[in-house]
């Protein structure tokens, strides 16, 4: 995709809310999808570029949500600063997690990171004096303002999440094109060969993990500000956060720039509609339908939606080209 | 210049009950082309892997230009000027040929200048025309050359070539032999593991023979070809038949 196309896409995304009710149901789903697209892009740095299937990103996400919210509740500190503090803590947590999981591969890495996030969930549930325990935390609402990262309309949050997605994607692109990106791909495709030609594989993996963890924590703050309420299971939950993020990127196209966006735009609405339409028909029917649809997508398009979109675009432009040549002859 | 460029003393490597290398001692001087031969399973690839730091030696010492590099991580050893190619060829299959080589250049420079140097390395080994192709789509001889270019891009002082001539025809082999001679003119020191005797005899100044993890002979090619233990290691004893 060229610069111009990307620019047009962002313009289009900016105009979408004008067609929707500013506090309506659809813009809320899109806002959530953009947040998860940003989370997917942050995860993509570790999962896509380094090829490490993290199932523990909820740890960083929840850390970010709790850090900024607790700072706001107890000290009245702006969530912007809370977000930075959460980002630092998320980076530190990612660094500490990297030390023991560094040498793990494939399923073992996934299990190790999954366990790490579960520890956070259990701590948040039991350390009630700090976290409020299973009851959760409510973000105090003062007045709508950008400084306090609080708004009346979902539309404002939509733009916030759009900006977050664009920012994380830009960081992703910078990494891909720079030294770190080349080294990460080498680590992913042949760690021994990478070492022998001078790549410090340990350091490269830690760098990726820290950037990814830090960004994920910052997005946790945005989630808290959007929802105004969360409990340990919603921000530290494996299914709610960790697996959902990984799934979005896998369905969308792992390691690709537009994979997380495509995956989020498919999965978040799909979850929502399966819930709304089928939840009261029979117990578990919505989950069953959702699961079946996901399996169908993964089976039909194992390379991810980004690859499918690329092929589709190539076919369309191919047809245009051939019809042009036909017209000429 | 009394210090050899690469010196190995009493190097041993044990994998569980298997003694892969035992008490290997040798030295390679600047500008030499040295061959390493031996029957299958003699420990040639293990020796290379241990020298570059992929295996930690059980005992012994490896020094590069007088500096002890024993037990250091491979990327540190690479930055000090010792690297190798892989016998089974381990390119980054999802990346282009140019990107594969470029990564080697990142030891010393940023992406933009590494790209330029990577192009030079591809020209050096004669494959600049396939720079943009995916490494996964290449033929074996092409991949072996990309391996060499990628190793060259780290600007090594000593380059260990592990069977880069496997699956080459005679003409291609002559090209690679010419390339190795040219590299020496540029000041590179080369150690080669190779099964093609013609190739190794024609290009090497000296040959080491490894058998069952032990160094059994060391000398100029003509001497090695007549060495009784070498003949025995390769062909078996006369009365074994």
Residues of A with CB under 8 A from a CB of B: 177-179, 182-183, 185-186, 189-190, 192-202
Q: What is the mean pLDDT of residues A67-94?
A: 96
Contacts A–B by Cβ distance under 8 A: 76
Distance separating alpha carbons of residues B7 and B196, to the nearest angstrom = 26
Closest partner residue to B111 among A179, A193, A201, by Cβ?
A179
Q: What is the mean pLDDT of residues B115-123?
A: 94
Query: Under a CB-based contact definition with an 8 Å cutoff, are residues B52 and B160 in contact?
Result: yes
Q: Is the pLDDT of residue A172 over 90?
A: yes
Q: What is the pLDDT of residues A290-327, one digit of tens each?
A: 788 778 877 887 778 888 888 888 888 776 666 655 55
Q: Give Cα A219 distance to the centre of its chain.
A: 8
Q: Which residues of A touch B54 (CB under 8 A)?
A: 192, 195-196
Per-residue pLDDT at B238: 59
Q: Which residues of A touch B98 (CB under 8 A)?
A: none
Domains observed in chain B:
1-73+191-241 (3.40.50.300)
CB contact under 8 A, A189 and B150: no
Between CA A25 and CA A136, with CA A160 as vertex, the angle to 5 degrees is 70
CB contact under 8 A, B83 and A195: no
User: Over chain A, what is the mean pLDDT?
Assistant: 90
CB atoms within 10 A of CB B20: 20
CB contact under 8 A, B102 and A195: no
CB contact under 8 A, A196 and B54: yes
pLDDT bin (cut points 50, 70, 90) of residue B240 is: very low
Q: What is the pLDDT of residues A17-35, one digit of tens each?
A: 888 888 888 999 999 999 9
Q: Which residues of B touch A199 (CB under 8 A)?
A: 75, 103, 106
Distance separating alpha carbons of residues B146 and B100, to the nearest angstrom = 8
Query: Under a CB-based contact definition with an 8 Å cutoff, are residues B51 and B82 in contact?
Result: yes
DSSP letter string, A79-106: HHHHHHHHHHHHHHHHHHHHHHHTT--H
Distance separating alpha carbons of residues A64 and A234, to the nearest angstrom = 13
CB contact under 8 A, A182 and B106: yes
Query: Under a CB-based contact definition with an 8 Å cutoff, are residues A286 and A278 in contact?
Result: yes
CB contact under 8 A, A195 and B106: no
Q: What is the pLDDT of residues B128-185, one digit of tens each?
A: 999 999 999 998 888 989 999 999 999 999 999 998 888 788 888 888 999 999 999 9
Q: Is the pLDDT of residue A38 over 80?
A: yes
| Alpha-carbon distances, residue A281 vs A267, A270, A288, B172 (angstroms) | 21, 17, 12, 71
CB contact under 8 A, A185 and B94: yes
Q: Which residues of B touch A178 (CB under 8 A)?
A: 111
Query: Under a CB-based contact definition with an 8 Å cutoff, are residues A107 and A51 in contact?
Result: no
Taking CA atoms, what residue in B is nearest to A188?
B92
Taking CA atoms, what residue in A is nearest to B135?
A189
Q: Which residues of B touch A102 (CB under 8 A)?
A: none
Using DSSP's 3-state secondary structure scheme, residue A75 falls into: helix
Residue among B73, B92, B143, B151 with most chain A CBs within 10 A, to mutate:
B92
Distance separating alpha carbons of residues A263 and A246, to the nearest angstrom = 10
Per-residue pLDDT at B56: 94
Query: Under a CB-based contact definition with an 8 Å cutoff, are residues B33 and B69 in contact?
Result: no
């Amino acid at each position: 995709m060229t610069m111009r196309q990307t620019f047009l896409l962002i313009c289009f995304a900016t105009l979408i809310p004008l067609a929707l009710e500013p506090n309506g149901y659809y813009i809320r789903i899109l806002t959530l999808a953009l947040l998860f697209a940003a989370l997917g892009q942050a995860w993509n740095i570790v999962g896509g570029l380094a090829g490490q299937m993290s199932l523990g990103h909820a740890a960083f996400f929840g850390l970010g949500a709790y850090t900024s919210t607790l700072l706001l509740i107890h000290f009245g500190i702006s969530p912007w600063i809370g977000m930075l503090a959460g980002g630092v803590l998320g980076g530190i947590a990612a660094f500490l997690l990297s030390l023991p999981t560094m040498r793990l591969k494939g399923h073992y890495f996934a299990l190790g990171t999954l366990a790490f996030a579960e520890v956070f969930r259990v701590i948040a549930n039991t350390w009630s004096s700090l976290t409020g325990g299973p009851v959760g935390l409510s973000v105090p609402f003062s007045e709508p303002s950008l400084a306090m990262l609080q708004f009346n309309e979902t539309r404002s949050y939509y733009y916030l999440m759009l900006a977050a997605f664009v920012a994380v994607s830009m960081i992703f692109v910078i990494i891909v094109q720079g030294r770190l990106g080349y080294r990460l791909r080498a680590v992913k495709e042949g760690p021994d060969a990478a070492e022998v030609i001078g790549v410090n594989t340990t350091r490269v993996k830690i760098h990726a993990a820290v950037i990814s963890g830090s960004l994920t924590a910052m997005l946790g703050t945005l989630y808290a500000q959007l929802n105004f309420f969360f409990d340990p299971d919603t921000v530290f939950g494996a299914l709610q956060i960790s697996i959902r993020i990984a799934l979005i990127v896998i369905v969308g196209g792992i390691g690709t720039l537009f994979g997380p966006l495509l995956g989020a735009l498919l999965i978040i609405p799909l979850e929502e509609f399966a819930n709304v339409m089928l939840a009261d028909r029979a117990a578990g029917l919505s989950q069953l339908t959702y699961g079946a649809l996901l399996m169908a997508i993964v089976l039909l398009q194992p390379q991810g939606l980004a690859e499918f979109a690329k092929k589709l675009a190539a076919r369309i432009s191919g047809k245009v080209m051939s019809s042009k040549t036909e017209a000429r002859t | 210049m009394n210090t050899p460029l690469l010196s190995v003393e009493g190097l041993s490597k044990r994998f569980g009950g298997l003694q892969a290398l035992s008490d290997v001692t040798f030295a390679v001087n600047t500008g030499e082309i040295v061959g390493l031969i031996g029957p299958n399973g003699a420990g040639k690839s293990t020796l290379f892997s241990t020298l570059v730091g992929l295996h930690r030696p059980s005992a012994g010492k490896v020094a590069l230009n007088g500096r002890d590099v024993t037990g250091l991580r491979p990327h540190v050893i690479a930055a000090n000027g010792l690297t190798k190619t892989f016998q089974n060829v381990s390119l980054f299959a999802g990346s282009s040929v140019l990107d594969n080589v470029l990564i080697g250049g990142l030891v010393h420079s940023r992406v933009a200048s590494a790209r330029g140097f990577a192009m030079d390395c591809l020209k050096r080994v004669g494959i600049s025309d396939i720079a943009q192709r995916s490494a996964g789509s290449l033929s074996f001889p092409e991949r072996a050359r990309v391996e060499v270019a990628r190793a060259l891009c780290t600007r090594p002082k000593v380059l260990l070539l592990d069977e880069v001539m496997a699956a080459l025809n005679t003409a291609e082999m002559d090209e690679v032999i010419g390339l190795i001679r040219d590299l020496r003119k540029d000041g590179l020191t080369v150690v080669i593991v190779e099964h093609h005797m013609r190739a190794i005899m024609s290009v090497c100044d000296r040959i080491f023979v490894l058998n069952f993890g032990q160094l059994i002979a060391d000398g100029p090619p003509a001497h090695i070809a007549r060495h009784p233990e070498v003949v025995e290691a390769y062909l078996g004893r006369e009365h074994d038949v």
